[in-house]
Amino acid sequence: MRLPRAYLLIAAAGVVGLLLGFVDAVALPVATGAACAAAVGALLAARRAGIAAQGAKKAAAAAVETRGGSIRDRKQIQDTVRAQGDKTRELVKHVPRWTLTPIQRELRTTFAQTEATVGLHSLLRPRAAMPASRGWAASPDVVLELVRIALRERPSLVVEAGSGLSSLWLGYALELVGQDGRVVSLEHDAAYAEALRARVREHGLEGRVEIRDAALVPQTVEDREVVWYDPAALDGLHGIGLAFVDGPPATTGHQARWAAVPMLADRLAPGARVVLDDLVRDEEKQILDLWRAAHPSWTVETFSHEKGTGVLVVDAGPGGAG
């Protein structure tokens, strides 16, 4: 039996409403999300009660109007979300029990990612709208972990294998600590790299974030034939304090991201962190094991983020990054 879409949407609206409704102080993006969640809940409640589609359209239009005054009317938004959350909880009581497990799993994930997003906006203050997260993009929980590392360790150089949402957040983190730190992100898709450079300019992070064009080319790394970023793109990158490995795409080849540590090891600073995303995939687990075997003095920690995360810490002793 197929789960009715209305039940899924009702439950999703409920959890977002519950979270946002009880946050005492929210930033503009979160307030906007609260308004949209309230509109979704209103639309579904209207559908269940058999109200005409015209009423649902008015609810959606109200969310758009609320967006413009989300800061001025914050209390009104929160009150609306609280009320809608109560209504949605009542509706969810009627969902058949056999449907609850997959719904609960998704709700827990959504709740965690919303919390991480709120956490990011509480630590940093973006000057423009951020790109979408999750899906093919980095999830908020791993980005929050990267930001925490950057704020705590204050690396002078962050290198990313793959660029995107994390590039901007890390740029803000380095700006906040007030040092001359910079982020260099390798990107194989020239069109995407150019679009991201426009985002960097929009956020005023040109002095912090550099998006480098780095084509994926066949090469031999430690007697292994791989397709990885053009080594020329690594020119001048030494003393890396934080490396985020979120590329190349898995479709590039078997264990596509394995080459990151062999290519960057001699460029890492003592005590550097190497963060591997997508550890829920078998190939990434194999990659982490290979890195650990090649560098037994490095410590490894894993996190149960949405896509799974592995963090390697380079030995801080002499020659630790070798």
C-alpha 306/C-alpha 3 separation (Å) is 23
- Confidence at residue 103, expressed as pLDDT on a 0 to 100 scale: 74
What mean pLDDT value characterizes the chain?
81
Q: Say whether 124 sits in a helix, a strand or coil.
A: coil
Phi, psi for residue 280 in degrees, rounded to 5: -70, -15
Residue with more model confidence, 35 or 274: 274
Say how many C-beta atoms besides its own lie within 10 A of residue 25's C-beta: 9
- Confidence at residue 21, expressed as pLDDT on a 0 to 100 scale: 43
For 63, 92, 135, 288, 302, the CA distances from 260, given in Å and listed in that order, are 45, 46, 22, 11, 18
- Confidence at residue 102, expressed as pLDDT on a 0 to 100 scale: 76
Instruction: Dump pLDDT digits (tens) for 254-290.
Output: 999 999 999 999 999 999 999 999 999 999 999 999 9
For 76, 169, 230, 244, the CA distances from 199, given in Å and listed in that order, are 32, 12, 24, 19
pLDDT above 50: residue 1: no
pLDDT above 50: residue 8: no
Domain-wise residue ranges, the chain? 5-123, 140-313
Instruction: Dump pLDDT digits (tens) for 156-171.
Output: 999 999 999 999 999 9
- 140-313 CATH choice from 3.40.50.150, 3.40.640.10, 3.30.420.10, 3.10.20.310: 3.40.50.150
Say how many C-beta atoms besides its own lie within 10 A of residue 40's C-beta: 23
- Confidence at residue 132, expressed as pLDDT on a 0 to 100 scale: 87
pLDDT above 50: residue 183: yes
Q: Say whether 220 sits in a helix, a strand or coil.
A: strand
- Confidence at residue 287, expressed as pLDDT on a 0 to 100 scale: 98
Instruction: Dump pLDDT digits (tens) for 61-114.
Output: 454 444 444 455 566 766 776 777 777 777 666 666 666 677 777 888 888 999
Q: Is cis: bond before 248, omega within 30 of 0?
A: yes
Instruction: Dump pLDDT digits (tens) for 36-70.
Output: 444 444 444 444 544 434 444 454 445 444 444 44
Q: Residue type at 11?
A: A
DSSP summary character for residue 227 = E
- Confidence at residue 81, expressed as pLDDT on a 0 to 100 scale: 66
C-alpha 235/C-alpha 243 separation (Å) is 15
Q: Residue type at 256?
A: A
Instruction: Dump pLDDT digits (tens) for 200-253.
Output: 999 999 999 999 999 999 999 999 999 999 999 999 999 999 999 999 999 999
Structure tokens at 15: 């959890």
pLDDT above 80: residue 298: yes
pLDDT above 60: residue 190: yes
Distance of CA 214 to the CA centre of its chain: 22
